[in-house]
Chain A
Amino acid sequence: GQQLNQSPQSMFIQEGEDVSMNCTSSSIFNTWLWYKQDPGEGPVLLIALYKAGELTSNGRLTAQFGITRKDSFLNISASIPSDVGIYFCAGNYGGSQGNLIFGKGTKLSVKP
């Protein structure tokens, strides 16, 4: 099925560093979502974006809905060990959950 291009696939960073990851699509999306998944758990919604150009923060996390509506990025500032996990972007273009497309994830590792 259709998938988003999410990059990077993995990141190894030092504690305290900032992190940036992004997703691109060939289709225009109406909604962008960012999730984090810990081992053995289901994804947890971090940020939801509903308008082109929208910039939303959730603590140390900031995400933006690209102006073209075909991309989004997620930034994590001053990373800490508990940021470790897999981050997924997801897009919705049809206005229903049936059209929620996921990226393949960015695996984040943080060295203390």
Chain B
Amino acid sequence: KAGVTQTPRYLIKTRGQQVTLSCSPISGHRSVSWYQQTPGQGLQFLFEYFSETQRNKGNFPGRFSGRQFSNSRSEMNVSTLELGDSALYLCASSWPLLAGSTDTQYFGPGTRLTVL
């Protein structure tokens, strides 16, 4: 079974631009969560999608948005990039048996975003 895939793996953008990252969950998984990882703040939750609906959202500005498609693939978008958005963006998929349960999350390798 293929793991979680994320594209692209590396990305360089300049301030003010926007970026779209993609995540393909493990086949059959319906929940996709996104995290931002930085040396200073560590791993922080961005949002979770389940069956094409955003189910939970972390404490990030509205410049960060996402969506999920009917095949469970997910994208996240960051508009008006700032230097502080440079980070490793990770997505994780799971197939929660119960709504709201913390089932095993499988992480992808991440997308390394650098904002210049």
Interface residues of A (CB under 8 A from B): 1, 3, 30-31, 33, 35, 40-45, 48, 88, 90, 92, 94-105
Contacts and interface: CB of A to CB of B under 8 A. Distances in A.
Contacts of A103: 42
Given A95-B100, A96-B56, A102 B110 contact: no
Contacts, number: 72
B48 A97 contact: yes
B21 to A, nearest CB: 13
Given A43-B90, A97-B55, 8 more contacts: A42-B4, A48-B102, A48-B104, A88-B43, A96-B99, A97-B31, A97-B94, A98-B48
Contact of B56 (A30, A31, A98, A101): A98
B102 A45 contact: no
Interface of B: 4, 31, 33, 41-45, 47-48, 55-59, 90, 92, 94, 96, 99-102, 104-110
Contacts of B4: 42
Nearest to A98: B56
Given A31-B102, A45-B105, A97 B45 contact: yes
Contact of A92 (B47, B102, B110): B102
